[in-house]
Structure 1
Amino acid sequence: MRVLIASGATGGTSKGSIGKYFHLKDFGEALTKFDIDYKLVRETDYVVGFPTKQISKLISSKKKFKKLIESFKPDAVIVDRQSNFGLEVIKAGIPLFVILRGHHWSELEFAKETIYKDRFMRKIVDARSQIAEKVFAGATAILPVSNYLIDIIKEHHPQQSIEVYVEGVNNARWYKQDGMQLKHPCVGLLQDANWWRKTREMLTLEKVIEKMPEINFYWVGDGQYKDQILQVLGRFDNFHWLGSLQYPDKVRE
């Protein structure tokens, strides 16, 4: 059996959402124990759909996708994003399994209420939402990462097959080793800055950091909302931004 795994983690300030890609690779390696061959790819290397600024990729992407399918010949495809890649898999008649890590519908509505208020960006969000709904509807099954998401999925796709996908962390990689030279006492924060609804919660630390000048706060993470956080927390001498670190080795340090 052959399984194609397509990661939606891309480039940009989040450094390709390395953690998610890394865990998908772990999952693929686990499949080999059951004599299942896998291939892990970044979906945007093969399919770029409209709307996009990458016009050249938009024109050539379908040829690359077709070549990928013809060469690897997958029996099933797993994706962790609801995008044009998933649509192409459905059109090709290959069983598609969609990993869902959060409340997709709530995140879209929140985005339109906060960061995408102008009419043009709302239309972009709506267009991507329509693509996602087609992927959810046409998938063989949706794989939420928690039981909490099951009822939420059923509200939108009551007839869809749902199985919980447990995405854990291999604790064998998180052993003690010599770490970075940090100022102690300190608190470490590991959080990306790509979903404002999650990222904004870091701002609740403002009063804490101000009232505890003897404690150093280190933030590891990056993303499109980094500046909004640094504008508030970066003014404190005991707050230190370390940027995006290599996962998992530098994060472990």
Structure 2
Amino acid sequence: MADYQLRGVHGQTVAALAGRILSGDLPEGATLDLMALREELDVSLTALREALKVLSAKGLVDARQKRGTFVRPKAFWNMFDVDVMRWRSAGPPDMDLLENLTEVRSVIEPAAARMAAERATEDDLSDMTAALDRMADASDDAVEADLEFHRALFGATHNQLLMEMQRVLANGLAMRDKVVHGAEADDPVPSHRKVLDAIRERDAVGAERAMRDLLDKANADFARIAEGSPDESTAKKPRRAG
């Protein structure tokens, strides 16, 4: 899950090409005209090729003799790469991705809550409590506080792979927030507090159940908001997890 930090012309070129591929502007199977891209992006051929190496490592493009450089089918894209998820999140909401995210969360987060109840330290509990307090504070950024809560919960599992997984999920949730931002939804604090209370009480079964309830509620709210959105990109109702 390499996190490619966008820096200078090289980073901007990577991001520009990735955006075109992920948006479908450069469709799957398309052969890239490197000279035209070099002129359009106003970069050297060397810089363009270096950018394509980055995208190749993430599964977005490939190069073959006689065919040249082409966009790989989506099935080969590294969806668990933090950058790929972030680039997808930067564009219009992708409802297929959000449906997948909903299902992945329903599998992973209840188990993470159970594990957190068994392993959380006092520092972990303090981090989750602080995030929950921020969520309850109307003057604070509730979206970022929500992400902080889930980041702290995954941290409380003390499982490095789960903590890396949370980084991927967080970028997907940023896309989800584009749909729900400003929409009327129920207060999320009580459902998060139930998860935290169960973790604090070392109730692994209760924490898992509370997280499932939280996700069911969040997914129902999201489905209702997305279904009523005037934006065609959010018109498809996501499947409910659980």
Range class of TM-score, shorter chain = under 0.3
- Structure that is richer in strand per residue: 1
- Structure that is richer in helix per residue: 2
Give the structure-1-normalised TM-score. 0.27
Q: Which of 1 and 2 has higher RCO (CA within 8 Å, sep 6+)? A: 2
